Chains A and B, each alone.
Chain A
Amino acid sequence: MTNMITSACDTCPAHTQMAQMGLKIDNFDRVVALAGNPNTGKSTVFNALTGLKQHTGNWPGKTVTRAEGGYEFQSVKYKLVDLPGTYSLLSASQDEEVARNFILFGQPDCTIVVTDATALERNLNLALQVMEITDKVVIAVNLMDEARRKGLEVDTRSLARDLGVPAIPIVARTSEGMQTLLQTVADVIEGNILTSPLRMEGNDQYQAAVRTLAAQIEHLYPAIPNARWLAIRLLDGDDRVQQAILSGEVAELVSGQQRAEAQFSKQMAVAGRQ
């Protein structure tokens, strides 16, 4: 394992603050999830941060289960969870379930949505859906070099302003922008950066229905962080969310984050093997 750290750090520009911890994720302080469309270089980001060597084949559906690794930044230990690449969180195919369930029930301290700078429109669709579930989101605009090669200029400040969450340009392959990304993730978790994610508005009828349901959910589970999203999912008839509400699993979203995470990891490990 030691040779990984030295060899991978050839590419870190300022490795004083950061250490890759590979599979050493026994005691971590924070959990960060990596979400994104297929083929946006999520696995490359994961490898660059953890020093692990997840294979990065270029074909859709390569990462079917999630991978976990660790890194240390400014002496805080982070566990990084690489979720399967998906276009959406609505279809409930196997990989979408894994990703969606982790972001909702796994309660990561922050979710990084890795996007492809050359196909931002498609990628933002997923980012908006993640932002419906959680406030703690950082957008990593990856493949900036590819975008430059294709003559595209991406204004991440405009992006951040419109989305209401930080957007950081990176090139995961060369680790460009990684320090800024990690700093931003830390700031979002510590509350130094306050996010106000853009939420979709529907027609009045829809808004009213969502409000009614969300109020009831909040009444049943006070202080729940994402009642609105749960309400939308219930209106859409999402089976998994219905079960979670019936079984009271939703209550764990409020209390005992670490415990819920540990328990969920176990569940997901079982689900992942299926």
Chain B
Amino acid sequence: MTIPSITAQDILDQAESLRPQLKEGFRDEIVKSLYSEAARISGRAVHQVGNTKWDFDQKIDRLVTSPWTGLPIMLLLLAGVFWVTIVFANIPSQMIATALFWIEDQAANLFTSIGAPWWLTGFIWHGVYRGLAWVIAVMLPPMAIFFPIFTILEDLGYLPRVAFNLDWLFKRAGAHGKQALSMAMGFGCNAAGVISTRVIDSPRERLIAILTNNFVPCNGRFPTLIMLATVFVAASFSPTVSSFIAAGAVLAVVLIGVFFTLLMSWILSRTVLKGEASAFTLELPPYRKPNFSRILYTSLIDRTIFVLWRAIKTAAPAGALIWILANININGVSLAREIANFLNPFGLLLGLDGVIMLAYIIAIPANEIVVPTMMMVYSGVGMMTEITGFGEIRALLIDGNGWTMLTAINLMLFSLLHNPCGTTIWTIYKETKSTKWTVLSVVITLGTAFLVTFITASIARLLGWV
């Protein structure tokens, strides 16, 4: 007996012809019967024996998402996290700085005493080592405090509630509510934030989330904001309230970032990424008890050390570069000073100065080293080495280099809004596979940064504040 041979195409054709015979809504029927079977089986296996604590989760949810208390609680939580970070990072930061710069002095003296050439001592200790010392002193303490707190909130299940609370704003901006999730991840690291936009199914809304993620200040930029908020904004207040003022200033910067995220999303969704909102469904998972050893591991090893190590890898060559620039003299003026002077008019236009611009250019691979780079250029050029606390930083910047409140505020704004760091740009390229969107992500952030700082600087000057 011969069986007529069947080809793969025959099977597909057969399926095509069988399909219309089935009832309309064939899929609906499959899913419905799956769920009713699941309900039947679980109904037999699960029994409610008591009603202990069942309402606890719901009570918390009613509180953190309620029309009256939802948003205030969210802001208070955020401010609280910043406050704790600022208060507890301050003293360790100063201690680390003192210790590391003491080592620099001792080591440099040792090198000199054994007759090492001046350029070797300078390059290694005042260049490479100083870059590392700055990065560790400025970044490690805030991160080691911020990351664990943030990870606890993440593991508890609070982030989807934030997305729930803010979704309406994103809807108005033509974006997806889950963008709030990717923004929250952006607080840790913008590259991670860009990757986490994969939770958004619609390509249009996902691109919006990717292009605007950088308006959330990542952990690499937090130390800059915290330092500026502490040294400038809060310094004129009494010590009892200054930490609250600093936390408030950081919160204000973050809210400005959220504002620009929404504004840019709105602009994008009405211009290059035009379209309607896609279907929005968001699961609010039950709260889970965080596992503390896991949180410490994730926040300290996966996150803090990861970000710090990346910063260190760029800080060492940056330190070396700055030392070289500061020690190559042309007509008696160092190359660093020469470049800074060249960039100065442009910097001043934005309410900043040439050294800050130079620091930003050197720090393109990793934004987190902007402040350290800046401090090195200032101190390297001005030959001032002993900086052990925020007081000295203030003195160096204001008295030594003519900083004003405008410089500090505009630097905070610039740091918030300017282009993504090298890693993030590369991640955006990998996620979008498009040069066009990658370039756009840089152009819109940098454009916003220039525009906003230019406007604030012009207003301040017009009104005679500076």
Which A residues have a C-beta under 8 Å from some C-beta of B?
38-39, 41, 44, 47, 53, 55-62, 64, 88, 90, 93-94, 117-125, 127-129, 146-147, 149-156, 158-159, 162-163, 173, 198, 200, 202-203, 205-206, 209, 212-213, 216-217, 219-220, 231-232, 234-237, 242, 245-246, 248, 273-274
Contact = CB atoms under 8 A, between A and B. Distances in A.
A248 B8 contact: yes
Contact of A121 (B26, B38, B50, B51): B38
B297 A53 contact: yes
Given A57-B155, A58-B157, A209-B21, A120 B42 contact: yes
Contact of B23 (A59, A153, A205, A246): A205
B9 A202 contact: no
A120 B50 contact: no
Interface stretch (B282-290, B386-394, B447-455): B282-290
11 contacts: A57-B159, A90-B30, A121-B43, A123-B38, A127-B38, A147-B46, A151-B49, A216-B6, A231-B15, A235-B22, A245-B8
Contacts of A56: 155, 291, 294, 298
Interface of B: 3, 6-12, 14-15, 18-19, 21-23, 26-27, 29-31, 33-35, 37-39, 41-54, 151, 154-157, 159-160, 178, 181, 195-196, 198-199, 201, 282-283, 285-289, 291, 294, 297-298, 301-302, 430, 433
A97 B202 CA distance: 16
A246 B35 contact: no
Contacts of A234: 11-12, 15
B104 to A, nearest CB: 32
Contacts of B201: 93-94
A220 B6 contact: yes
Contact of A151 (B8, B48, B195): B48
A152 B49 contact: yes
Chain B interface, >50% SS class: helix
Given A121-B39, A154-B46, A59 B11 contact: no
Contacts of A206: 22-23, 26, 29
A151 B51 contact: yes
B30 A236 contact: yes
B154 A59 contact: yes
Contacts, number: 193
Given A61-B198, A162-B45, A38 B11 contact: no
B278 to A, nearest CB: 12
B301 A53 contact: yes
Contacts of B53: 149-151
Given A151-B49, A248-B8, A58 B30 contact: no
Nearest to A230: B11
Contacts of A120: 38, 42, 45-46
Given A39-B285, A60-B282, A153-B46, A122 B23 contact: no
9 A-B pairs closest in CB distance? A61-B199, A124-B38, A151-B50, A39-B285, A58-B157, A234-B15, A120-B42, A121-B42, A159-B45
